[in-house]
Amino acid sequence: MRWSAWNLLLLVPFLMLVTPWFNRMEPRLFGLPFFYWTQFAFVPVGVVCVAVVHLMTRDSGPPPPAGGDDVDALDEGALR
């Protein structure tokens, strides 16, 4: 098991499941009730948490082979 404390950040988006916090109409944003736009706001929160964990816990194995014939040419990964 390769554990990193950064992984705990993955728990933050679960705050979204505490619905009593935002289950109300006001304040509205662009006419959308608080209930709806707060949950939209959680989408970037989730993305940031996962992205930080990704960046801080990169695998420290040998690097993947450069180029390679079987690599999908469409992919940005092929350029590494």
Question: By the criterion CB under 8 A, which residues form the site for other proteins?
Answer: 1-2, 7, 10-14, 16-20, 23-25, 28, 30-33, 35-36, 39-40, 42-43, 45-47, 49-51, 53-54, 59, 61-65, 68, 70-78
Of residues 5 and 65, the one with the C-beta less far from other proteins: 65
Distance of alpha carbon 41 from alpha carbon 29, whole angstroms: 11
Work out how close the CB of 74 gets to other proteins at its nearest, in angstroms, rounded to a whole number. Answer: 6
Instruction: Write the DSSP symbol of residue 57.
Output: T
Indicate the Cα dihedral angle 39, 40, 41, 46, nearest 10°.
80
